[in-house]
C-alpha cells in the first residue's frame, strides 16, 4: 500500500517562500507520477503541479507558473514543491498524490497524503 506524507507548510508573509516535501513509501509502480493539489477555504481542490517519476517531465497550473517549482529526489523517494513569491490567495491546504499518469485531474491519482497548511498574510 502506498503512503504519502507532506511536510514543510507554515505561515509566511506575502512574497515569501516555502519548500514543501512529499515522501512516498510502500509499494509503487515502476512508472508513476506525483502531483500537488491545493484546496483553499470554501473552494474546490485544484491542480498545482505534477512530475513524472521516471523521466522528470513536469507541468504546472497557469496560476503558479514561474512561481512554483516541482522536483524529485529518487534516492529519498521525495518530491518537492518550492513555492515562491507567495500571495494571500495561495493560502490553502496542499496535498500530494500518486497515480499512473502525469495528469492535472484528481481522478488519475489513487493515493493521497493528509495535506499541509500554507498560510500567506498580506
What phi-psi label fits residue 8: left (phi over 0), alpha (psi between -120 and 50 degrees) or beta?
Answer: left
- What pLDDT band is residue 26 in, cutting at 50, 70 and 90? confident
- What pLDDT band is residue 27 in, cutting at 50, 70 and 90? low
| Per-residue pLDDT tens digits for 84-98 | 999 999 999 999 999
| Per-residue pLDDT tens digits for 59-77 | 999 999 999 999 999 889 9
Nearest CA among 109, 106, 81 for reference residue 94: 81
C-alpha 24/C-alpha 77 separation (Å) is 6
C-alpha 86/C-alpha 119 separation (Å) is 9
β-sheet with 18-25: strand ranges across: 3-7, 18-25, 78-83, 68-73
Amino acid at each position: 500500500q502506498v503512503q504519502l506524507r507532506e511536510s514543510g507548510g507554515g505561515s509566511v508573509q506575502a512574497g515569501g517562500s516555502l519548500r514543501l516535501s512529499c515522501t512516498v513509501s510502500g509499494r509503487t509502480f515502476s512508472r508513476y507520477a506525483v502531483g500537488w493539489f491545493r484546496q483553499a477555504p470554501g473552494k474546490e481542490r485544484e491542480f498545482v503541479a505534477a512530475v513524472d517519476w521516471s523521466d522528470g517531465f513536469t507541468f504546472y497550473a497557469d496560476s503558479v507558473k514561474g512561481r512554483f517549482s516541482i522536483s524529485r529526489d529518487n534516492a529519498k523517494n521525495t518530491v518537492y514543491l518550492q513555492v515562491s513569491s507567495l500571495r494571500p490567495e495561495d493560502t490553502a491546504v496542499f496535498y500530494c498524490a500518486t497515480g499512473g499518469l502525469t495528469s492535472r485531474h484528481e481522478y488519475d491519482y489513487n493515493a493521497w497524503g493528509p495535506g499541509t497548511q500554507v498560510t500567506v498574510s498580506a
